[in-house]
Structure 1
Amino acid sequence: MMTGLQPLTGRGRYIPLRSGISFMAGGLTVLALPPFSWLIVFPVAFSALFLMLRQVSAAPAFFIGWVFGMGQFGFGVSWIAESFYVDSERFGALAIPAVAGLSAGLAIFPGMAAMLFAAIMQRRAFGGIAAGLLFATCWVVTEWLRGHILTGFPWNLAAYALVERAALRQPAAWVGSYGLSFLTVFIGLLPGVLIVAAPNRRVPVLVLFAVAVTGLWVGGALRSGQDVPPTDVALRIVQGNVPQVEKWVPGSRQRALEKYLGLSAQPGRFDVLLWPETAFPGFLDEDAAARARISAALPDGRILLTGAPDRVEGDGGTRYFNTVQAYDGTSEILTGYAKHHLVPFGEYVPLRGWLPIERLTEGLGDFTPGPGPRTLAIPGAPLVAVAICYEIIFPGHVVDDLFRPDWIFNATNDAWFGTSIGPEQHLASARMRAVEEGLPVVRAANTGISAIIDANGNVVARLDTGETGTIDAGLPGARTPTPYARFGDWTLLVLVFGCWVFGWLASLLGRDPDARHFGTEVS
């Protein structure tokens, strides 16, 4: 049965045509994200998806949304293939199937958003602004689920299209990245709402678009314009630029140590020395000679935070951890942090008893997760939270809520992904964590991108991919705890509820005539 507008194509060609457009629209979203950040393509992509879902029932809507996700993730996470070519003899043949399989799985979430939207529209036809609110709500619900189900993978959230705009990214301090995704998608699809709006409803849509964009911009500009006093702590970040293919070969440990010690010894003052994830490719706490050389290179009162694997013997055997360890001139470990959010198939194999698959990284066994976010107290520096590599992509799961730090150290090794777009996208996540928490984020990356990010998400210093060198700079200051830091994703619920109350109040002014433009066409 058909209601509302009729298709311009025959029934047999209807879904393939819309799916093809949806795939291209999904691919376009990648251009809105770093390193491209062509924000103009975002409303094009989401308005197109919104229009493709008109008059479609739940099952075809899921397929259209899934195809959109295949474009979105097929291009957006294509850089993962690079990691398989580090050991191409063993894993190279899996690169394309792995990216395709991951993209197909992640695409389920946009498919779910589209299906949920279509299913609700079948039961109660919304029009105009209400339809836009419904779609944005469905999108952010499934985006949140993507960040939590099966350990989660909140990569390239819609909000990250705004990361290069200082004012527009600031609302993440109030509603987090998921809340900013809701606003970004809603504003992005308003051009699509405008296209199908009845003539007498187009002015309100235009007014809402202008008010929403202006409000975000002005509010964000006021926040980003507030000065945050810097600290008097001097940092030195070392980017050794050791290729991943060389990192674990026999004899590489001493060469890596020599390189990091040489860069660390350059003239200049620092209070805290920062090396990246697994900068020392071995068990540093077990290597007294290496620790002695490091301690000799540390001026009195100076601290090193470095990534290094660790192992602990127990009744159940040996457990391995991916850690950041703190050392001073005594050569003894002061404190440490164990990564708690591990990378599936990179640091452990899920369902190892059932899946005959090797993990991609070198090592004697799967890593064991640490207990969770932790704040470290180190001499001569403000309290610090540590997020190792992948952990920085998770909104609201980086900082210990009971013991707030003054800054976040993100030790990472993006050498796995070469010169692809992956490291730029990873940096975008770190910048959004800085805004959400109101804390500076300091990144030490093996091959880049190392950076110092202030509490407003501005990159104040960086070393690009493939560069060898150091960053000497002061530690930026922290802001007071943001609403998102205090309440987490509850702010998202308040935002969505508030927007729906606004939509309901607007509907009281009269029946929305645009609802007739959203019917059910195919089942």
Structure 2
Amino acid sequence: MVGRATSDRSMKPGSVRLIGQGDALLLRMGLAFAAGGSSVLIFPPFSMLIAVPVVFSALFPVLRTVSPKCAFLIGWAFGLGQFGFGISWIAESFYVDADRFGALAIPAVAGLSAVLAIFPAMAAALFAVIARRRRLGGIAACLLFATCWTAAEWLRGHVLTGFPWNLAGYALVDYAPLRQPAAWIGSYGLSFLTVFAGALPGAAFSTHTRRRPAVLCGLIFLGIWGAGALRLGTGAPTATGIDLRVVQGNVSQREKWAPGNREATLERYIDLSSSPGNATVLLWPETAFPGFLDEDEAARARIAATLPKGALLLTGAPDRVESDNGTRYFNTVQAYDSSGEILTGYAKHHLVPFGEYVPLRDWLPFERLTEGLGDFTPGPGPRTLALPGAPLVAVAICYEIIFPGHVVDDLFRPGWIFNATNDAWFGTSIGPEQHLASARMRAVEEGLPVVRAANTGISAIVDANGDVVARLDTGETGIIDARLPGARAPTLYARLGDWTLLVLIVGCWILIKTAGAAGRVRRARNSKTEGT
């Protein structure tokens, strides 16, 4: 049997070696998938900081030893695990109307994860291409890896409609000093530092100079912590005199749009809003009123009766406008005074594909997940609203709060951000916690408090440092009465946006290159001295 196997002419030369390579690639892809799946632990609600070096140090050394094609596949496997577990909560939205969409839940999450995995795959392939052409030391290779990764994250946040969910920097959101540098370099810059530091232990175990990468990893985290602590200790915002009431009606998505439930929904919000207190601004979540409130005089009169004189209501509500091309529908936040008159409004501009509109509707045979008469029309973009007796406010409806640098109108800086949202689609999954993490990062980046009203949770008041001052958890019915936190001075990121990211990356490369050149000169001098 042994002689027959070795003399088999049907086997091509080198076939055993090639099969071995294929098995090794599958093994590496499997390990990368596991590492990507484990990355869900670095984000809220888990926020396991120790998992950051485990996740990225598991991926980085592997990519240094493979071809660009293999690197692409390994990076894609990592991304498949990263998004497959990290955004698994999206499946919950398909079960709201299980008869129509339940069967699509798993295929939709799997398909979206496979598409989003292309971004880490691109980062891995780019890293492998450049690393092959240049002989890089362990630290420089980690810097290249972090640069490629951050570029891919930035693209993920901007290509097509963009989806900057669970950026690597969000691993630091639950650690007050560590998230503060986002005020200077934004969430993408924080991702760069997180991935750089997270990959360094991998370099320490894969090179002879183990001490330097390990020490640098510690110095990066200590540097971030020190800079963040310094910011927390200076420039404390001045408190405002505005009393808020955030109402969380806790109406399930299945019940919300049922025709017979509109009265009960309105009654619930009115009862909660009427609780004793001195709120001057009342805040209801996205589409809190399941109908066209500006067209319903009776409903507005009932709401106005609950508002103290001089008080305001900001509420989510759909809107429609007749035009020559037919009726256009908008997802809006509308402001009403105590007489029930509409003061101003904001229309959501960053709509959710397949949730609020169907892209390429004439070509794709899909329905929207949300109830409605037609696709929503996008608004003109970030706007600052002026309200009597209250600071200027920026409004971000639901999904819009996840976009760094695209929440606030640059021309008219507000004093706070109102995030009206409806996470009822996602039940008690980890989705609402991850969504809140994005809101907290926007607060740090902009130096502005964020007030979040969610239908079923998580409603919260977040100060300008990203701390949660008060919250109502998922599934709770109730109100938050609190004073509106003050704003900080405009941050560097608020003024310059993602240009600070470019400066950070270029600066790190110059620093590493300068240190490397200085080391070579020093070693050359030492060798000459020893020779003499």
TM-score (norm. length: structure 2):
0.93
Tell whether 2:193 aligns with 1:183: yes
- Aligned partner of 1:258 in structure 2 is 267
SS in 2 for 1:509: helix
- Aligned partner of 2:11 in structure 1 is none
Shift of 1:213: 1.3
Once the two structures are superposed, the pairs formed by residues 297-312 of structure 1 within 5 Å of their partners are 297-312=306-321
Question: In 2, distance between residues paired with 1:508 and 1:465?
Answer: 54
Question: In 1, distance between residues paired with 2:217 and 2:251?
Answer: 48
Q: What are the superposed Cα offsets for residues 17-41 of structure 1, whole Å, 9 maximum, x if unpaired?
A: 1111101100111001000111111
Cα contact 1:235–1:474 (8 A) shared by 2: yes
- Aligned partner of 1:347 in structure 2 is 356
Match of 2:148 among 111, 126, 138: 138
What letter corresponds to residue 121 of structure 1 in structure 2?
Answer: A
Cα contact 2:198–2:217 (8 A) shared by 1: no
Match of 1:325 among 334, 341, 365: 334
- Aligned partner of 1:516 in structure 2 is none
Match of 1:433 among 442, 451, 454: 442
Tell whether 2:412 aligns with 1:398: no
Question: In 2, distance between residues paired with 1:242 and 1:225?
Answer: 40
Tell whether 2:41 aligns with 1:63: no
SS in 1 for 2:150: helix
Cα contact 2:197–2:221 (8 A) shared by 1: yes
SS in 1 for 2:518: coil
- Aligned partner of 1:217 in structure 2 is 225
Shift of 1:430: 0.1
Shift of 1:207: 2.9
What letter corresponds to residue 411 of structure 1 in structure 2?
Answer: A
Tell whether 2:493 aligns with 1:484: yes
- Aligned partner of 1:42 in structure 2 is 52
Cα contact 1:436–1:482 (8 A) shared by 2: yes
CA RMSD in angstroms, aligned pairs only: 1.2
Question: In 2, distance between residues paired with 1:178 and 1:211?
Answer: 20
SS in 1 for 2:178: coil
Question: 234-243 or 221-230, which moves further after superposition?
Answer: 221-230
Question: In 1, distance between residues paired with 2:262 and 2:441?
Answer: 34
Match of 2:384 among 363, 375, 389: 375
- Aligned partner of 2:62 in structure 1 is 52
Once the two structures are superposed, the pairs formed by residues 222-301 of structure 1 within 5 Å of their partners are 222-226=230-234, 227-301=236-310
- Aligned partner of 1:459 in structure 2 is 468
Question: In 1, distance between residues paired with 2:247 and 2:114?
Answer: 38
- Aligned partner of 2:31 in structure 1 is 21
Cα contact 2:204–2:212 (8 A) shared by 1: no
Match of 2:433 among 424, 427, 441: 424
- Aligned partner of 2:477 in structure 1 is 468
Moved over 4 A (4+): none
TM-score (norm. length: structure 1):
0.95
- Aligned partner of 1:521 in structure 2 is none
Q: What are the superposed Cα offsets for residues 205-261 of structure 1, whole Å, 9 maximum, x if unpaired?
A: 233222211111011011123332211100000000000000111121111110000
Question: In 2, distance between residues paired with 1:97 and 1:302?
Answer: 47
SS in 1 for 2:350: coil
Cα contact 2:397–2:419 (8 A) shared by 1: yes
SS in 2 for 1:432: helix
Match of 2:173 among 156, 163, 177: 163
Cα contact 2:265–2:289 (8 A) shared by 1: yes
Shift of 1:44: 0.4
Question: In 2, distance between residues paired with 1:132 and 1:384?
Answer: 41
Question: In 2, distance between residues paired with 1:315 and 1:237?
Answer: 38
Cα contact 1:435–1:457 (8 A) shared by 2: yes
Q: RCO higher in 1 or 2 (8 Å CA, sep ≥ 6)?
A: 1
Shift of 1:506: 1.4
SS in 2 for 1:456: coil
What letter corresponds to residue 439 of structure 1 in structure 2?
Answer: L
Question: In 1, distance between residues paired with 2:144 and 2:520?
Answer: 17
Match of 1:388 among 389, 397, 410: 397
Question: 223-232 or 275-284, which moves further after superposition?
Answer: 223-232
Shift of 1:510: 4.0
SS in 2 for 1:292: helix
**Structure 1 unaligned blocks of 5 or more:** 1-6, 513-523
Sequence identity percentage? 74
Question: 215-224 or 60-69, which moves further after superposition?
Answer: 215-224
**Structure 2 unaligned blocks of 5 or more:** 1-16, 522-532
Shift of 1:54: 2.1
Question: In 1, distance between residues paired with 2:444 and 2:456?
Answer: 25
Q: What are the superposed Cα offsets for residues 122-146 of structure 1, whole Å, 9 maximum, x if unpaired?
A: 2112121100000000000000000
Q: What are the superposed Cα offsets for residues 470-493 of structure 1, whole Å, 9 maximum, x if unpaired?
A: 000000000000000000000000
Question: In 2, distance between residues paired with 1:85 and 1:333?
Answer: 35
Question: In 1, distance between residues paired with 2:104 and 2:211?
Answer: 52
Question: In 2, distance between residues paired with 1:207 and 1:17?
Answer: 31
Shift of 1:406: 0.3
Question: In 1, distance between residues paired with 2:101 and 2:520?
Answer: 59
Question: In 1, distance between residues paired with 2:193 and 2:124?
Answer: 17
What letter corresponds to residue 220 of structure 2 in structure 1?
Answer: A
- Aligned partner of 1:10 in structure 2 is 20
Cα contact 1:264–1:273 (8 A) shared by 2: yes
- Give the length in aligned residue pairs: 503
Shift of 1:509: 2.5
Question: 434-443 or 124-133, which moves further after superposition?
Answer: 124-133
SS in 1 for 2:165: coil
- Aligned partner of 2:128 in structure 1 is 118
Shift of 1:296: 1.1
SS in 2 for 1:420: coil
Cα contact 1:349–1:357 (8 A) shared by 2: yes
Cα contact 1:28–1:42 (8 A) shared by 2: no
- Aligned partner of 2:369 in structure 1 is 360
SS in 2 for 1:101: helix
